[in-house]
Structure 1
Amino acid sequence: MPSIDSKDIRKIIVACDAGMGSSVMLASQLRKQLKSQGIEVAHTPVNSIPSDADVVVCHAGLADRARKTAPDTVLIPFQIFIGDPAVTALVTTIKNGGIVNA
C-alpha cells in the first residue's frame, strides 16, 4: 500500500470521469484549503492521471480505474464530493504533518 509523508506532497490530482463539475468544485476547494502549503491541485480524467501526481483523490466508484492508471500513487477514494471525511482527513494530515496512506 503506497504512502507518502505530507511534507513530500507537491501535487494532488482530483480525478473524474463524468465531467459533471462536482470534481472541479472539489479541486477548487482543495486548492483554497492547501494554498499556504504550496501544493498544486489539478483536475484530470481518471484515465489521464499524470505520472508526477503524489496523491490522487477520486470518487470511490473510480478507485479501481485510478489504481490501474497510477498504481504506485497514494489514492484517497471518497463517497461525497463536498465534506467527505476522507478528504477532510487528507487536508488535516497535510496541514498538521504526518503520513498519508492509500
Structure 2
Amino acid sequence: MTSIATFGAVWTWAVILISQLRFRKSLSETERSQLAYKMPWAPYSSYLSLAFLALVIVLMAFSPDTRIALVVGPLWFVFLIAVYYNKGLHKKIKCSW
C-alpha cells in the first residue's frame, strides 16, 4: 500500500514540475523578471528533481515489494481516465458568470 502511495506522490510531483516548467517557458523575459518568487537555479533544479523522481521509479522496479505499484499505478490512472471520459466529465461546462 505504501509503494502505491509513493507512486501517486511521484506522479503528483512530476506533474507539478512539468507544469511549472511549461508555465515559466510560456512567459516573456519581462514577465519572468516580474515574478514574485525567483526559483533558484531554474530550470535546472526542476530537471534535476524530475531525474530524482525517475530514479525513485527505477529503484521501485528492483524490489518485489514495491514493483507492484508500477503495475497498479498506471492501471489506476487508466481506470480513472476511462471513468472521466465515460461520465462525460471531459466536456466543457458553460459558466453563467
TM-score by length of 1: 0.22
**RCO comparison, higher one (Cα < 8 Å, 6+):** 2
Structure showing the higher helix proportion among its residues: 2
Highest CA radius of gyration, 1 or 2? 2
